Structures are given as C-alpha cells and as structure tokens.
Chains A and B, each alone.
Chain A
Amino acid sequence: MVSPAIACEGLRKRYGTTTALDGLDLAVAPGTVHGLLGPNGAGKTTAIRILATLLRPDAGHARVAGFDVVRQASHVRERIGLAGQHAAVDEILSGRQNLVLFGRLCHLPVSAARRRADELLGRFALAEAGEKPVRQYSGGMRRRLDLAVSFIVTPDVLFLDEPTAGLDPHGRDEVWQTIRALVAEGTTVLLTTQYLAEADQLADVITVIAAGRVAAEGSPDKLKAMAGGDRVDVVLRDARDLNSAAELLRTQLSTEPRVDHDRRLLSVPTTDRLAALTTTIRSLEHAHIIAEDVAVRRPTLDEAFLHLTR
C-alpha cells in the first residue's frame, strides 16, 4: 500500500472548555481530493490548521507528506500549500507583486520568482489583471490569486479551507476548475467545505466530521447510500389524512414511512422504485386520499449529511 499523504491519529485540541477536536483519525491517499465535511464548529478549520503546522495539537500525531507536523514542521512547510478562508494576499500590491513576494519568501531567486509569477498569472487566468492592485479584484479573482500563491512551489499537499465560501456561482466554478487542474498534476488536496455540492463535485473521498470526530467516511455515493436508498415522497392535500395514509402505506409496502406534518409529506424508503410508486398511487386512490404530489427520488448528499451529523 502507498503511504498516505496525510495521516493523523487521535488528534485532540481544546480551546478553554470547548473541545474542537476529540480524537480525529484521518488517512488521505496521495493524488486524491479528500473532503472534510461538517457543520460549523465541527473542527474542520482546527484540523486544517494543525495539519498546516499553524496550530499544535494537545494530543495525537499527524504526518503530512511523510513528516511530523510538530517535530518536523519546517519540512512539512516546504511541501504544503495553504489557502485559508480569507484570500490571504496583500490588498495593496498587484497580483504580480504578490506572487513575486511570496515566491521570494519561498526562497526562489528574483528571476525565477518573476518567471513563476508570469506563469501562474497565465495559468490562473489573471494575466490581464496582473498589474492591478488586488483591492480591485473580484472575489473569484482574489481566490484564484490566493490559490496561485499556494502553488508557487508546486506543493505535495494542498490544504483548502472553504475555498469557495462567499463566492458567486461563477467564481465558484472558476475555483473548482482550477482545483481540478491542480489535482491532475498529482497534488493531494484536503478541502473543507460546508457546501455538499462542492464535496460531491470535487472529492474522491469524504470524511464527515461532527463534534471533533469522524462521523462517517467514504465516497460521495457511499455516503448517499448510508442515508438510505430511494424514496417515494407523497404530499397530501389534507394534513388530517397523514396518519391514515401512513398506516396504509406501512401495511401495503411493509416499510416505515417518515411523516413530516409541516409539509404534509410522507416519505417511504424503497428498493423497487416503480413498484412502490404504483402501489402508493393505487392504494391512496382506493382509500380516497387526495395526493397533491407523488415523486420518486434518490437521496441527496444533504440528506446523508443531516442523517450523519444529527
């Protein structure tokens, strides 16, 4: 087996009385995109900060690109890129000046830093805006510049903390495309996000964390399957029919429907979509219960998420 690009065991971190991480275990295979998914306060950012050597764990071990994040922090820093929740670039300098500055800070000689800045401006579609101060950039451009900075020295492992938070759909697509291109070059990416669509789009493997520990892990499809299979959703016209309809479907389909009184909704898990659909419609009609809407649907990652972090 290939040794993991990121491996951590039993990471713990407390802030005062708040436990941010409560024994987090994680293994990320090289060259993959791994999504850390969790509600606010689940410990996503804390995990990233520890792995990027910005924060010391109270307990546990973590290795990134083969080096211990506490004892060999400087080796780790030579091999990682980090793009945090803010676009951590200098607002006053131009895009090019930012890239040259950070290139020099990565120990590139002046000429190499300039060359690299030009390359990256081109690759991140910022060539035209290269001389403008970052203050005048759009949100998407800032993020792209931020990603470009974390790519000055092509990192083995790239940490992205909510890379598209606060971007409009257009900016988000730009960032997604950029991330995909980077991964194609072999960089391992660990990204945190609150947007399930983002994890679904980008990640090979998703770890759902809740209250500082792993709640579930697997491919997006596997996680969706954990939330249950297909469902038939029925919206009734009259909420008073909900209980009798639920009883009816329970006997007819021999499963347990979920009842949502607010939405006058019955949600029935099923393995045979079409049979369940026909049976549902037929038995409701028979009992003179009027349905406004009947639909078959697959679970979304949102449901998986709610299910797993509840």
Chain B
Amino acid sequence: MITRRDLQHWARQPGAVIANTLVFPVMIVLMFGYLLGGAMIVPGGGDYRDFLMPGMFAMTMVFGIGATLSAVSTDAARGVTDRFRSLPMAAEAVVAGRAVADMLSSAVALAVLTGCGLAIGWHPHRGVARAAGALGLLLLLRFAFVWIGIYLGLRFYDNSEAVTAVRTLEFPIGFLGNPFVAIATMPAWLGAIALWNPLSSTASAARQLFGDPVGAGPSWVTGHAILVAVAWPVILIVVFFPLSVRRYRHLSH
C-alpha cells in the first residue's frame, strides 16, 4: 500500500516525475555527450559517449537519494509518519514500502536512460547477460542509497537545513568520481578519492560489463571493479538498513 501511494503520486503529478527522473538525466547526457563531449578525451582510446553512458547510469542511481530523502523527511515532518505509526501495521512495512517505490522509480529512470543511450549510438558490446549484470549492479547501488536516504530522512526530518545540505552534497559526490571524466586525467590525490567513490566502482564495473572504455590506469580497484561494485553497496546496506529500521523504531524515544 505504501508503494502504491507513491505510484499514485506519479499518476497525479506526471509533470514533476518526468522532470525529476527523466528530463534531468537525459539533459545531462545530451549536454556532456554533445556540448562538452567534443573536448573530452578518454585515455586509452574509445568513444566518449560510450564512456559517458555507464557513468550517467551510476550517477542517476546515486542522485536518487535526494528523492528518497525528501519523501521520507516530508512525511515525518508533516506527521504522516506518526499517523502510520498509530495504525495497526508493521513498522517495517512503512520503510520497506518506501524502498520498493524508490526502486521502481529508479528502474524506470534506468530504462529511459538506456533508451536515450541507444538513441545516441551507445550499446552494450558484450552480450545481454553481462549487460543485465551491469544493470543489476546499478540497481544494487541505488538500493544502498535508498537506505542511506531513509536513515538521513528520519534522522534530520525536523531540520530542513540538513536535508538541503545532503541534497547539495549529491553534486560533489556525483562529480568526485568518474561518471564524466576519466580518473586517469585527474591529479593523483583527487584520483584516489574518485577511485574509491562507490559511484566510480559501479560505473567502472558497468563499463567493463557493457564493454565500454573504462578510462582508468591499472589499479587494484579497477582490476576488481565488479567485486568492489558489489562490496560497496553491500557494506552500505549492512550499515544503513539496520540504522534505518532502528531509527524508525526509536522515533518513540
């Protein structure tokens, strides 16, 4: 039911949904793909748009945290969460419903981006199975960020500045990685940060699986990109899933 409520939101506000989940990433793809893409060089060769698409996928997954955070904190601040809690329903259901809804919306966003990528000439080079694996890793990353968003939303719902701060931090996190620019082009210290960014590992893993240029020198992280792309989200989930459930229960303290 909680998931259904969000689906009803989409139905009632098609404009907002299209703008947030669809237009923005597509716009960035076109901007970087065509406007800035000409000036971009992928070290080791390869087409920039091929390099860009997996990065865009990963960035869209991470930026989804903003939507999760807003939805959770708005409900908590308005008393909707309290109302849920005063009803005879399981605490976990509220949190899980939110997670399912956000995963669905991210899956749609991913599908649209894929369509957009195909339209500008990008396509997976290494077969359907590996491409599906890449999409799986991307959704796993999103799933991790759903729990971070839920936790932060419940933690800071009465503090709109904190919510804004997190939403602002999306950008440095998004750009301090490899979605747009190859890590090999960065100064060493910056490259190290970008390399270990969870977003980067998922993007690199997706690039490998799609058969797109990875654009990074040999390093342990790049060599084990898929392993790291599984490990990072799993670590985040292991930390933030219990924290979110605990936080929800502890609203009563």
Contacts and interface: CB of A to CB of B under 8 A. Distances in A.
B252 A74 contact: no
B83 A84 contact: yes
Main secondary structure of the interface of B (DSSP, over half): helix
A106 B87 contact: yes
Interface in A30-76: 49, 52-56, 74
Given A54-B252, A104-B1, A133-B12, A89 B88 contact: no
A54 B5 contact: no
A80 interface: yes
B62 to A, nearest CB: 25
Given A54-B252, A93-B8, A88 B79 contact: yes
B78 interface: yes
Contacts of A81: 86
B5 A101 contact: yes
A302 interface: no
A52 B86 contact: yes
Contacts of A90: 5, 9, 80
B79 A86 contact: yes
B252 A92 contact: no
Nearest to B13: A92
Contact of B12 (A55, A82, A93): A93
A250 B12 CA distance: 72
A107 interface: yes
B89 interface: yes
A102 interface: yes
Residue in B9, B83, B84 with the greatest tally of chain A CB atoms within 10 Å: B83
Interface residues of A, number: 32
Interface in B1-57: 1-2, 4-5, 8-9, 12-13
Interface string B194-233: 0000000000000000000000000000000000000000
Contacts of A87: 79
Interface string B76-95: 00111011111111000000
Given A84-B79, A84-B82, A88-B79, A102 B87 contact: yes
A93 B10 CA distance: 10
A196 to B, nearest CB: 25
Contact of B252 (A55, A104, A149): A55
Contacts of B79: 84-88
A97 B8 CA distance: 9
Nearest to B84: A105
7 contacts: A77-B88, A82-B82, A88-B79, A90-B9, A94-B12, A102-B87, A105-B89
Given A93-B8, A106-B88, 6 more contacts: A54-B85, A84-B83, A85-B79, A86-B78, A101-B5, A102-B87
Interface of A: 49, 52-56, 74, 77-78, 80-82, 84-94, 97, 101-102, 104-107, 133, 149
